Amino acid sequence: MRISLIPAALSLALALTGIAGQAQARDALYHHTLKSGARGLPARILVLTPDVLIYEITAGGIVEKLPRRSADAVERFRKSLRRFGDSHTVPVEILPMPDLEPGEQEQVEDFVAQFMVVSSAVRAAQDGGAAWAHRITRFDYSVGFGLAFLKERSGAEAVLLSTGSALSESGGRTTVNLLGTVLGLALSGGGYASYRNDDRADLSLALVDLDTGDILWTRTDVRSPRVLDDDTANYEYVRDTIQGYFRNAVPAGGARRPTPP
């Protein structure tokens, strides 16, 4: 994949910043054409393979990628998405992914990589306050290009993307942080000293239009890495987030619901 290093670096940067160890959910965003009713919700979608990268920070502050945990998290997401697809009650049809030629697979990987770049800009806008409020109020972010061949081959209108990055602290790092807290208490005469927890996971789910690359809906969360390591926690996250999309997607007089499959 030609640009895989870009989202990997962005994922790591996002994991190293923000409020470590604290759950945080940003508001879900809907494309302004959905909110106005100019575009209906997609009735048929594809589910792309999740993209998850997990890192560990050592006692010495070295950040290392954990390939096995990353692969396990990807498979866990796949199982959760498959389970949701088999038992869902939301008005959408999840279509099987067609077989891809190597060149087509590369296009899909580039599409996911570009989404991760744009998604980081979306998070920055959400956290940017009044200066960026207009970009959130009239949300119109796009991946920049679509995957029309997938629409032609499958009949789907949009793809569901799930991405994540996590930074976990090693056992030695935990000990160092605890000792730092104790030392801080001692030096301050018993006053407040915060405990720094480096464990966090940044997660995104999104629906992207296959024709245009428009991000129709997206939501990002900061959670404990447990959501990537535990089957139940992962499924509950997937289920609640996707059901929330349908529950909140149609304000009064807003976008049209799709015809149930």
Q: pLDDT band for 51, please (50, 70, 90 cuts).
A: very high
Closest C-alpha to 205, from 67, 81, 103, 104 = 81
Residue 256 resides in a domain:
no
Q: Are 221 and 203 in contact (CB under 8 A)?
A: yes
Number of folded domains that form the chain: 1
More confident of the two residues 124 and 181: 124
In a domain, 176, yes or no: yes
Instruction: Write the pLDDT tens digit of every residue in 209-232.
Output: 999 999 999 998 888 888 999 999
Nearest partner of 111 among 198, 19, 1, 220, judged by Cα: 1
Asked whether residue 146 is assigned to any structural domain, the reply reads: yes
In a domain, 6, yes or no: no
pLDDT tens sequence across 53-100: 988 887 777 888 889 999 999 999 999 999 988 887 777 888 999 999
164 lies in some domain: yes
Query: Residue 94 belongs to what domain range?
Result: 24-197+206-248
